[in-house]
Amino acid sequence: MAKRQSRPAAPQPRAFVAPTSLSWVDRLTTWVDGLPGPAWGFYLLGGLILVALGWIGQASQGVYLVRPAHVFVSVQPVVALGLIHYFDRSALRAFDRFAPAVRTERVDPREIRWRLTHLPPRGAWMASLVGLLFVPVFAAITPDPARVFQMAPTPVSVAEIHAFMVLIWVTYAPLLVHTIHQLRWVHRIHARYPRVDPYDIGTLYAFSALTARTAVALTLLNYGWTLVYPAPLNNPVNVVLTAFFAVLTAVVFAWPLWGVHRLLAEEKARLLADGARRMKASVAELRRRIDSGRLRAMADLHKAMASLEIEHAALMRIPTWPWPPGTLRGVAAAVLLPIAIWLIQQLLQPLLAR
């Protein structure tokens, strides 16, 4: 009786080895994910605790009025950490939709998922340290912080303001580094690893929501500070910061997707050139038939040329920017509408004061 030949075992996928260890930010988000209940509940509770601590500190100094600006400042450390967590989850959802377009022979998708959602440990610590160094700079350029932040003019109030500034800068700096790191990887993914098909660009829309949300979130943070601590129109610092964040929003939204835009434009141009070459050949064949008097069997040639025209029209309608219709308008409205309202208020304020 002949022996049955056993089939060779299917190759097992190579075990994934994380390219970096966990940063302090990633350890926190991992811990939050392990808690019962939604992650936003933890950040909401953290924000309420910080607001309560700020209120207790100021109430102990006697006269104190609760102002929206105080609540805004108190929750900023939690907002920064919550945004990092939110961006990571958004990046994972985006990559799951984008994964069918990844050239897996060039890169391990598991590495991309890791890079998108994890800060290098050294980068996170360095960002927090640099943020901490900004606190003395803030103290030097703000000689009367109690007046600026509308708090009780006592040593305890000033100490509380500086304590919150430490928390804000220690968390804002990693948020900025995280945003740069994450969007740099989004740019790399789109520039190096996608399968580009102009007729199937649905998967290439995946990261447009992430870049749009990141741009809008950074803009809202800037507008929040401007709203609670308004500066006059002739304040150069305020004007420069507003212009900077407007430019930053455009860069954050468009730059990560520039690579795939370029690849789509190149592939679209190649297909258009190929169609033009075929149309040129069809026109040449048409002229040969006319010159030779062979005008009876023209139906097939007419259909071919009509099909090439349909293909050309379809290609011309294909967009090369990988975001759905309406996304650009939504981001532009989020950025420009508050600026327009602020400018109108600044221009009308002198007239209304008369």
The span from the CA of 298 to the CA of 306, in Å, is 12
pLDDT at residue 237 tops 60: no
Please report how many Cα atoms fall inside a 13 Å half-sphere around the Cα of residue 53, on the Cβ side.
14
Per residue in 326-348, pLDDT (tens digit) is: 777 777 777 777 677 667 766 76
The span from the CA of 316 to the CA of 63, in Å, is 67
User: For residue 102, what are the β-bridge partners?
Assistant: 194
Give the count of beta carbons closer than 10 Å to the beta carbon of residue 234: 8
Measured torsion, CA atoms of residues 320, 321, 322, 324, in degrees rounded to the nearest 10: -110
Residue pair 78/46 in contact by the 8 Å Cβ criterion:
yes
Per residue in 310-329, pLDDT (tens digit) is: 999 998 888 888 777 777 77
Task: Report percent pLDDT > 70 for the chain.
Answer: 84
Residues 6+ apart with CB under 8 A from 110: 16
Q: Give the burial string for 3-18 (b: 16+ CB within 10 Å, else e).
A: eeeeeeeeeeeeeeee
pLDDT at residue 5 tops 70: no
Average pLDDT over the chain reads 82
Question: For 174-190, what is the mean pLDDT?
Answer: 92
84 vs 65, 166, 181, 282, CA distance in Å? 32, 18, 11, 56
